[in-house]
Copies of this chain bind each other. A is one copy, B any other.
Amino acid sequence: MRGPIVAVDVGGTKIAAALVGANGDVWQERRVATPEQGLQPLLEHLLRIIDELRALVPAPVRAIGLAVPGVVDAATGTVLMAANLPWRDTPLADIVALHTGLPTVVGNDADGAALAEVWYGSAGASRSVVCLTIGTGVGGGLVIERQLVRGRQRSGFEVGHMIVDPAGPVCRCGSRGCLEVLAAGPAIARRMRAHAGGDWTSEQVIAAARAGDTLASRVLDETAAHLAVAIVNIWRLLAPDVIVLGGGVAAAEDLLLDPLRRHVAKLSPGRAVPPAALRLSTLHRGASVLAAAALVLDAYDQDREALPIAMGGTDTGNLLGSSR
């Protein structure tokens, strides 16, 4: 099985797209702002990017993968709904497959991020992975024994709405004390405003902490305290090989991980979560397209022959086949 994947991460504010080879090598990555004019311009934009990337390589592209921040019917590749994107019951996989003539896989971005740890993860050999993507919201992906667990409502692993403090503030979902309302970017900004006054974004808080601002560090520490409850609970329920953190907030790296590990140890004095089991996502330095590529590998992993082999081709590398 040969040929690269065109992998597209479609976010509410930006789109990242690239060619991805078998070992997760990312070529020709491009990032553009997500068009804001509605469904048709967005689709045209996506198809144009895909066409451009295909034209860049002599090797035939074997499949297209798209990761979206929403609920996807995995069987059909239809986007049932998506955060900050104009999709409702949009048959995205069909649209892209019709245009390109290529097998197309559409999935949730957090699911893809968890699968990327299995397929491309730096630790390798992770069979069970929990992924927390912490940005404007908190998304999650769960892979057990290399199988994505979607739950019966295909709503995915809604770790952002795990209740970590029943006495906490009300979340947009209506529940009190969800992880998202306590640990996502807006919570960090809100906490900093409460301590320091003024207007802040979570990125600014992280930058301030990196520059040595003790109030900003305290805000990250308080955020880590809530996140630690979720980490301990996930560990006790699922004991995966790794729990990985991704998304904009994870860009804080050790400024978040260090207090997080301290709070986890404090909450769970008897049975520690091994430090190596809690780490930053393979994707955290920007290779978000790997989530989209991993969705393709996952879809064809079990029955690889189901992926049509295009005619011809000049490459000789094993670009799509997994090395695992």
Q: Which residues of B contact A232 (CB under 8 A)?
A: 163, 175
Interface of A is mostly: loop
Q: Which residues of B contact A324 (CB under 8 A)?
A: none
Q: Is the CB of B142 within 8 A of A240?
A: no
Q: Is the CB of A233 within 8 A of B162?
A: yes
Q: Which residues of B contact A94 (CB under 8 A)?
A: none
Q: Is the CB of A128 within 8 A of B144?
A: no
Q: Is the CB of B268 within 8 A of A162?
A: no
Answer whether A163 and B269 are a contact pair too, CB < 8 Å, given A128-B152, A151-B239, A158-B237: no
Encoded as 1 (CB less than 8 Å from any B CB) or 0, chain A from 148 to 177 comes to: 010111010111011111110000011110
Contacting residue for A149 out of B144, B229, B269, CB 8 A:
B144
Q: Is the CB of A166 within 8 A of B163?
A: no
Q: Which residues of B contact A236 (CB under 8 A)?
A: 158-159, 161-162
* Complex: A239 Cα to B164 Cα, angstroms: 18
Contacting residue for A162 out of B140, B147, B237, B240, CB 8 A:
B237
Does A241 belong to the interface (CB within 8 Å)? Answer: yes
* Complex: A16 Cα to B59 Cα, angstroms: 65
Answer whether A175 and B267 are a contact pair too, CB < 8 Å, given A144-B144, A163-B232, A233-B162: yes
Does A212 belong to the interface (CB within 8 Å)? Answer: no
Q: Is the CB of A271 within 8 A of B165?
A: no
Q: Which residues of B contact A140 (CB under 8 A)?
A: 237
Answer whether A240 and B151 are a contact pair too, CB < 8 Å, given A162-B233, A166-B229: yes
A selection of 26 A-B contacts at a CB cut-off of 8 Å is A128-B151, A128-B152, A140-B237, A144-B144, A144-B149, A145-B147, A145-B149, A149-B238, A151-B240, A152-B239, A152-B240, A152-B241, A157-B238, A162-B233, A163-B229, A163-B232, A164-B166, A165-B165, A165-B166, A165-B167, A166-B229, A167-B167, A173-B270, A175-B232, A175-B268, A234-B237
